[in-house]
Structure 1
Amino acid sequence: MYDLVVRGGRVALDDIWAECDIGITDGRIAATGSGLQGAKTIDARGRWVMPGGIDAHCHLDQPVWGGAGNADDFESGSVSAAFGGTTCIVPFGMPGPGMTTIGAMDRAMARAAGRSVVDYSLHGVVTAGTGADVDGQLQQLAGRGIASVKLFMTYDGFAVDDDLFLTVLDAARGLGWVVMVHAENDAAIRRTRQKLIDLGRTEMRYHAVAHSEIMEREATHRALALAEMTGTRMTIVHVSSIQSAEEVARARLRGVEVAAETCPQYVFLGASDLDRPPRDAARFVFSPPPRSPRSQHHLWQALANGGIDLWSSDHSPYFFADKLGKSDTPAFNTTLSGIPGIETRLPLLFSEGLLAGHLTLARYLDLTSRNAAAIYGLDHRKGRIAVGLDADLVLWDPARTWELGHAVLHSRVDFTPYEGRRIVGKPVTVLVRGVPVVTDNVLSTGAGHGQFVARRPSDPKLARVPVEDTTPWLDA
């Protein structure tokens, strides 16, 4: 007798569908099969039972930068995630002014504790201002179950130079960590932004010029060259364009261990969305910006063929008034960059990727849960429907047609860039470790159900050889 049985659903077991029951005991999947008996039962007939999604790139309850704080804390953001079919999130221990990497993690841990309704971990962040002794700080975080760190190549107060970049890569390689990189050329962005301002070209559409594909391509190439030199695993986050995607593909041919991530905004929104009246266009300002139809098409292909590994939200929750700032006429250089997406991430891909036939079941599962679990050290607990793993399950109604809009979403953000978009397929019941947190579209648990999940690094002995250990004089 199991604690709970999810009965009669169409279950996504790795790369195949199976009509079976799922037996759950002590929060973990104990069996799959037919005729299972449980103290409690959830009727999943007519539902598709999928692994809970893992969103490994989202921002919640961060310190104030640029005069605006996040609209979502760990409670509201995790509730929104749950209603979107996500059962585990990995936001950032983002530093505020004057904070060390350790101090930022302490702050994030305290803010998350007792608030999240889904399970969570955190990424470390190193910036030019997060203190000396990078090795020591990352060692401390490793002892607390952290297995990744993020670096920015742009943004005032965040961008790291190549010396610090290499220091972090060396430390991460020794720990078996993966390094996440926001790859845009800061000097080129600052140069181009100022030239546009001097020319009076401040309409919102010029955001796509100030952050052009060239700047993303150059930074992606440089980041991957440094990863190749050090033998460190890397994720290029929010790949937005064909140019940066091609840099990832070329690096893989050289043997670089790199994962590529993209986000819904880069396949469902385009640069033409910025060519609207200012207040309307502001809903589409994020960095890197939306790109051309050619890049959108390439990213869809990469999602289907494995060129892209991760589908994340980059949920950046700001109230619309904060996003617009105090300018009388919103402009690209005064509008805060970032959009919400933690709840719409999976429904968009379920509808337009899986149901529309652009993605196989295997690729959908890779993108939404399985790869994130493997890359970020969660696969001992999360990412699949398999005996021994956490019972993080989502029951989808594959026939439900509904309209995305602020009124039906659960983030505190007061807009969505997908307002009015009709999609098919909706997560209706969501379990985290065998406990329903959403039941038939109603929140059924309170803040604090979510637990911190310690992640496992890779074995440093399996890392690529750094350049200093190569022997080119012996090459054939």
Structure 2
Amino acid sequence: MHDLVVRGGRVALEDGWAECDIGITDGRIAELGAGIRADTAVDAGGRWVLPGGIDAHCHLDQPSWGGAASADDFESGSIAAAFGGTTCMVPFAMPGPGMTSIDAFDRAMRCAAGRSVIDYGLHGVVTAGTGADLARQFDVLAWQGVTSIKVFMTYEGFAVGDETLLAVLDEARTQGFIVMVHAENDAAIRRTRKRLIELGRTDLRYHAVAHASVVEREATHRAVALAEITGTRLVVVHVSCRQSAEEVFRGQQRGARVFAETCPQYLFLSAADLDRDAEQAARYVFSPPARAPSDQAYLWEALARGDIALWSSDHSPSMLADKLGNDGAPAFHKAVSGIPGIETRLPLLFSEGLVTGRLSLQRYLAVTCGNAAGLYGLDHVKGCIAVGLDADLAIWDPAVQWRLTREVMHSRVDYTPYEGRMVTGKPVTTLVRGIPVVLDGNLCPTTDVGRFVPRKAGAPRDNPIAIEDTTPWLDT
């Protein structure tokens, strides 16, 4: 007799759809089959049962750097995630001024404790100011179950140069970590921004010029090359355009262990959305910015082929007034970058990818949970519906059509960039380790279900050799 059975649903398994029950004991999937008995049952008749999503790129309860405060903490952000079918997230332990990466981790753990309704990990972050003792800091993070590090190639106070990036990559390889990189050329952005301001071109639409595709492409090429030199696993986050995606793919063809992540804003929004009055345009300011329709089409094709490994939200929650600034003169170089998306990430792809057949079931499962579990060290507990793994499940009504509006969202952010968009399919019940967090569209009263999940490091054999270990004189 199991604790719980999810009965009568169409279940998404790694090898395809199955009509089966799911027996759950002690928070884990214990049995898949017919006629499973349990103390409690959840009726999934007429619905699709999918693995809970893993959102491995989101920002919650971050310290302010003199700009906008984070509108979502771990409670509101995790509730929004759960209503969007996500059962595990990995936000960033972002350092504030004067913090080391360890200080930032400790702060994030305090912020999250007892507040998240879904399970969570944390990414470490290295900035220009977090300290030079990388080996010690990475040792501490590894002991805590943090096995991924993010670096920025742009943003004042965050950007690291090539020397620091190489040091991070070298130490990450030693530890079995994976490195995430925000790839934009900082010098090029600063140069173009200065010239635009001198020309009086400060409308929000010029955000797309200051952060042009070539700026992202160059930094992506450089980051991939440095990963090749060090033999380190690398994820280029929020790939926005064909040019950058192709740089990652070319690195893969050369044998580099590099991976591309993209986000809904790059498939559903375009640079034309910035060409509006400031109050409307501010809803579409994020970095890198949205690109051309041709880039959207290419990214869809890359998702379907498997060239893009991850589908993440990059949920960056700021209130609209904070994005516009309080001096009454909105300008691209002063606007706060980032948009909400933790709740809409899966419904958008479910509707326009899975339901339409644009993505196969296997590709949908890979980019929304399976690949994130594998790359970020969670696949021993999460990532698919299989006996022995956590019973993280999202039960979807595949036929319901509904409109994305601010009023139906659960984030504290006061807008959604997808306002008015119709989607097909909605997660109606979300289970985290077999515990209902959302049941038939209603939030369950328990708010502290979520646990911190220590993650495992990669095996050294998964890494290519570093350049110093190559023997070009033996090449034929």
Same fold (TM over 0.5): yes
What residue is the counterpart of 2:471 in the other structure? 471
Within a 5 Å distance, the mapping from 1:380-399 to structure 2 comes to: 380-399=380-399
Read off the aligned partner of 2:246 and give its amino acid letter.
Answer: E
Within a 5 Å distance, the mapping from 1:89-238 to structure 2 comes to: 89-238=89-238
SS at match of 1:143: helix
Read off the aligned partner of 2:175 and give its amino acid letter.
Answer: L
**What is the CA-CA distance between 1:327 and the residue it aligns to?**
3.0
Structure 1 CA distance for aligned equivalents of residues 15 and 262 of structure 2: 22
Read off the aligned partner of 1:161 and give its amino acid letter.
Answer: G
Within a 5 Å distance, the mapping from 1:302-341 to structure 2 comes to: 302-341=302-341
SS at match of 1:215: helix
**What is the CA-CA distance between 1:445 and the residue it aligns to?**
3.7
- Contact 2:278/2:324 (CA < 8 Å) preserved in 1? no
Structure 1 CA distance for aligned equivalents of residues 270 and 450 of structure 2: 35
- Contact 2:67/2:336 (CA < 8 Å) preserved in 1? no
Structure 2 CA distance for aligned equivalents of residues 104 and 323 of structure 1: 24
Read off the aligned partner of 2:191 and give its amino acid letter.
Answer: R
- Contact 1:135/1:168 (CA < 8 Å) preserved in 2? no
Structure 2 CA distance for aligned equivalents of residues 461 and 13 of structure 1: 28
What residue is the counterpart of 1:65 in the other structure? 65
What residue is the counterpart of 2:276 in the other structure? 276
Read off the aligned partner of 1:237 and give its amino acid letter.
Answer: V
Read off the aligned partner of 1:453 and give its amino acid letter.
Answer: V
What residue is the counterpart of 1:292 in the other structure? 292
What residue is the counterpart of 2:371 in the other structure? 371
Read off the aligned partner of 2:256 and give its amino acid letter.
Answer: V
Structure 1 CA distance for aligned equivalents of residues 354 and 64 of structure 2: 38
**What is the CA-CA distance between 1:461 and the residue it aligns to?**
3.6
Q: Which runs of 5+ in 1 are unaligned?
A: none
Structure 1 CA distance for aligned equivalents of residues 4 and 100 of structure 2: 44
- Contact 2:239/2:245 (CA < 8 Å) preserved in 1? yes
**What is the CA-CA distance between 1:284 and the residue it aligns to?**
0.3
Deviations 1:13-65 (A, max 9, x none): 11310010000000000000000000000110011000000000000000002
**What is the CA-CA distance between 1:278 and the residue it aligns to?**
1.3
Read off the aligned partner of 1:364 and give its amino acid letter.
Answer: Y
**What is the CA-CA distance between 1:306 and the residue it aligns to?**
0.4
Report percent identity of matched pairs: 67
Within a 5 Å distance, the mapping from 1:335-374 to structure 2 comes to: 335-374=335-374
Read off the aligned partner of 1:116 and give its amino acid letter.
Answer: S
Distance 1:290-1:462 versus aligned 2 partners, 3 A rule: closer
What residue is the counterpart of 1:408 in the other structure? 408
SS at match of 1:220: helix
Structure 1 CA distance for aligned equivalents of residues 70 and 264 of structure 2: 20
Deviations 1:372-403 (A, max 9, x none): 00000000000100000000001000011100
After TM superposition, the score normalised by the length of structure 1 is 0.99
Structure 2 CA distance for aligned equivalents of residues 383 and 238 of structure 1: 21
Read off the aligned partner of 1:341 and give its amino acid letter.
Answer: G
Read off the aligned partner of 2:237 and give its amino acid letter.
Answer: V
Structure 2 CA distance for aligned equivalents of residues 212 and 36 of structure 1: 55
- Contact 1:118/1:451 (CA < 8 Å) preserved in 2? yes
Within a 5 Å distance, the mapping from 1:233-244 to structure 2 comes to: 233-244=233-244
Read off the aligned partner of 1:118 and give its amino acid letter.
Answer: I
Read off the aligned partner of 2:375 and give its amino acid letter.
Answer: I
- Contact 1:278/1:329 (CA < 8 Å) preserved in 2? no
What residue is the counterpart of 1:38 in the other structure? 38
Structure 1 CA distance for aligned equivalents of residues 310 and 198 of structure 2: 38
**8-17 or 49-58, which moves further after superposition?**
8-17
Structure 1 CA distance for aligned equivalents of residues 454 and 302 of structure 2: 31
Deviations 1:331-352 (A, max 9, x none): 2112110000000000000001
**What is the CA-CA distance between 1:329 and the residue it aligns to?**
3.0
Read off the aligned partner of 2:142 and give its amino acid letter.
Answer: A
Read off the aligned partner of 1:437 and give its amino acid letter.
Answer: V
Read off the aligned partner of 2:189 and give its amino acid letter.
Answer: I
- Contact 1:317/1:340 (CA < 8 Å) preserved in 2? yes
SS at match of 2:9: strand
Superposed CA RMSD in Å reads 0.7
Structure 2 CA distance for aligned equivalents of residues 301 and 359 of structure 1: 9
**What is the CA-CA distance between 1:446 and the residue it aligns to?**
2.5
Is 1:19–2:19 an aligned residue pair?
yes
Deviations 1:275-315 (A, max 9, x none): 11111111000000010011111000001000110000000
Deviations 1:99-134 (A, max 9, x none): 001000000011111110000000000011001211
Is 1:417–2:417 an aligned residue pair?
yes
**What is the CA-CA distance between 1:66 and the residue it aligns to?**
3.3
**What is the CA-CA distance between 1:362 and the residue it aligns to?**
0.4
After TM superposition, the score normalised by the length of structure 2 is 0.99
What residue is the counterpart of 1:29 in the other structure? 29
Q: Which consecutive segments of 4 or more residues in structure 1 shift more than 6 A?
A: none
Structure 2 CA distance for aligned equivalents of residues 67 and 470 of structure 1: 46
Question: What is the total number of aligned residue pairs between the two structures?
Answer: 476
SS at match of 1:321: helix
**What is the CA-CA distance between 1:460 and the residue it aligns to?**
1.6
Read off the aligned partner of 1:321 and give its amino acid letter.
Answer: A
- Contact 2:287/2:337 (CA < 8 Å) preserved in 1? yes
- Contact 2:75/2:115 (CA < 8 Å) preserved in 1? yes
What residue is the counterpart of 1:5 in the other structure? 5
